[in-house]
């Protein structure tokens, strides 16, 4: 039979190891989330905002619509112009929908 102190040591070490193996998977990274399609309707570089007529946004569970997004970093606005078809990624940052990646559609 195992000595009580040895049993306690084994249990103490086994518990943290078990907790590590059953942790839920992390949320998908932005790079793993597919980009959404849109058409640029308006750019407000001074305010760092863009108006997009977009298709469904899967990671935000959002249906197609036209809406204004904040753009972070604002330099992304220089990559597109009004009328461009684009692919973009948006997230909810403190209740503000924010474009974090945008590129002209191929």
What pLDDT is stored for residue 15 in this prediction? 59
Say if residues 89 and 101 touch (Cβ distance below 8 Å): yes
Q: Is the pLDDT of residue 31 over 80?
A: no
What pLDDT is stored for residue 56 in this prediction? 97
Q: Is the pLDDT of residue 100 over 80?
A: yes
Contact residues for 55 (Cβ-Cβ < 8 A; gap 6+): 36, 37, 38, 64
Q: Is the pLDDT of residue 37 over 70?
A: yes
Prediction pTM value: 0.70
Tell me which of 97 and 2 has the higher pLDDT: 97
Q: Could you give the percent of the chain with pLDDT greater than 90?
A: 67
Q: Domains plus CATH for the chain?
A: 30-104 (2.40.50.320)
């Amino acid at each position: 039979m195992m000595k009580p102190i040895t049993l306690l040591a084994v249990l103490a070490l086994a518990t943290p190891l078990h907790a590590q193996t059953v942790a839920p998977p992390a949320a998908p990274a932005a790079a793993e989330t597919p980009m959404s399609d849109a058409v640029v309707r308006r750019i407000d570089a001074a305010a760092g905002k863009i108006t997009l007529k977009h298709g469904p946004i899967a990671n935000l569970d959002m249906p197609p619509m036209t809406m204004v997004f904040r753009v972070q970093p604002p330099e992304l606005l220089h990559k597109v112009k009004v009328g461009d078809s684009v692919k973009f990624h948006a997230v909810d940052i403190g209740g503000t929908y924010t474009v974090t990646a945008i590129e002209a559609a191929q």
